[in-house]
Amino acid sequence: MALIVQKFGGTSVGSVERICQVAEKIKGFRARGTDLVVVVSAMSGETNRLIELAKQVQGEPDAREMDVILSTGEQVTIGLLAMALKAIDVPAVSYTGSQVRIVTDSAHNKARIQHIDDANIRAELTAGKVVIVAGFQGVDEQGNITTLGRGGSDTTGVALAAALKADECQIYTDVDGVYTTDPRVVESARRLDKITFEEMLEMASLGSKVLQIRAVEFAGKYSVPLRVLHSFKEGPGTLITLEEGASMEQPVISGIAFNRDEAKLTIRGVPDTPGVAFKILGPISAGNIEVDMIVQNVSRDNTTDFTFTVHRNDFRRAEEILRQVAESIGAREVAGDSKIAKVSIVGVGMRSHAGVASKMFEALSNDGINIQMISTSEIKISVVIDEKYLELAVRGLHTAFGLDADTATEDHL
């Protein structure tokens, strides 16, 4: 019997009515003789509500206790979905992350999965039940509840599919696949029939909200067949695959990703001596803050300026650390900007096409948009710009690279 892991996001289970619709969808799969493990998120808006509650009690909520609070959102959903299935005569059982034994490290609020004990799930499947698992959460070796960070339910779904050697992992959401960019920003954005893991990994890391980056990493590492589908509309969705395939050899750009959750920090007048980069970023890393783009200016008068970006949620904490660093190394000043955004173009075709960067910069120039920072890899180019120009930049680039639905040709797929 085929085994499928399905994941339903917050909007898919955002109300009792929608939870019942999901239950009917699951019943249809069961009728076709499929074993199912279903991963669910908290109901839409619930995680934000819980975060706000915590902040009302403690301005900077304790990380461990925050995980205790946040994990309750998914716990409500798994119970309701199990009840909805039982109400339509489908045997089902719900499991929290700790009941499954999804074991993580102890990095609260952004834990990483270390291993999964699948014995309980397999026993329930053998007994003929649909197993419903709370996404986004696990437990560390000391028994503390942990959460995997925003979008962590995707990671739970893919990790379970890998552990169970499932035939496919299906991610159900409020969009019917992966698009060339966010259709809410560009109305002419197109759904892609397929995209490589490599491209999807870049797009997820660069701000695409369709899948969490660690979910894509898991899927690529363990060759988990992964498909993005709409929760309540029929359709083929988007297949995420290891192979580029013949039809994917021609495209230059597959999609445009963007991220509003960026902030920029600059430390000026840094003594230009060996090891200075570590003296700056070492304390930032020790604070469990992830750094994204980095630029170091050419040395003048034996000093340099050093700029990097972090997630906007980490901005204030990173700024405090950087001010301490500046004082210890004798830097002149620290400046910050939380009103920036990152825009990126992604495509495996960039490997074999010249002039992509110049075309991107020309399009931004034509719209009067100044570039503050640039970062590149083999299949992507990212720029940091003023946040107020974000949507203008995305629309201009989408048109410049022929991704609009009314102008696209086979070469741009």
In a domain, 38, yes or no: yes
Name the binding residues.
Answer: 7-10, 47, 74, 173-174, 179, 184, 209-210
In a domain, 18, yes or no: yes
In a domain, 104, yes or no: yes
Work out the angle at residue 226's Cα, subtended by the Cα atoms of residues 202 and 178, and round it to the nearest 5 degrees: 55
The domain that contains 31 carries what CATH number? 3.40.1160.10
- Mention every residue, 6+ apart, whose C-beta is less than 8 A from residue 380: 202, 206, 344, 345, 346, 347, 350
Per-residue pLDDT of the chain (413 residues; tens, 9 = 90+): 799 999 999 999 999 999 999 999 999 999 988 999 999 999 999 999 999 999 999 999 999 999 999 999 999 999 999 999 999 999 999 999 999 999 999 999 999 999 999 999 999 999 999 999 999 999 999 999 999 988 899 999 999 999 999 999 999 988 889 999 998 899 999 999 999 999 998 888 887 778 878 888 889 888 898 999 998 888 899 999 876 554 444 568 999 999 999 999 999 999 988 999 999 999 999 999 999 999 998 777 889 999 999 999 999 999 999 999 999 999 999 999 999 999 999 998 888 788 999 999 999 999 999 999 999 988 999 999 999 999 999 999 999 999 987 655 444 33
User: 14 phi and psi, to 5 degrees?
Assistant: -75, -10
Give the C-alpha distances (Å, rounded to integers) separating 68 from 92, 107, 112, 207: 25, 13, 16, 27
Structure token pair of residue 282: 């070492």
Give the C-alpha distances (Å, rounded to integers) separating 122 from 39, 129, 138: 15, 10, 18
Name the binding residues for ATP.
Answer: 7-10, 173-174, 179, 184, 209-210
In a domain, 404, yes or no: no
| Host domain of residue 118 | 3-174
Name the pTM for this structure: 0.77
In a domain, 52, yes or no: yes
- The reported pLDDT for the residue numbered 410 is 40
Cα–chain center distance at 290: 14
Cα–chain center distance at 128: 33
In a domain, 68, yes or no: yes
Q: What residue type is 28 in one-letter code?
A: G
In a domain, 289, yes or no: no
- The reported pLDDT for the residue numbered 215 is 86
- The reported pLDDT for the residue numbered 150 is 80
User: How many domains does one find in the chain?
Assistant: 1
- The reported pLDDT for the residue numbered 155 is 93
- The reported pLDDT for the residue numbered 180 is 93
In a domain, 197, yes or no: no
Name the binding residues for substrate.
Answer: 47, 74
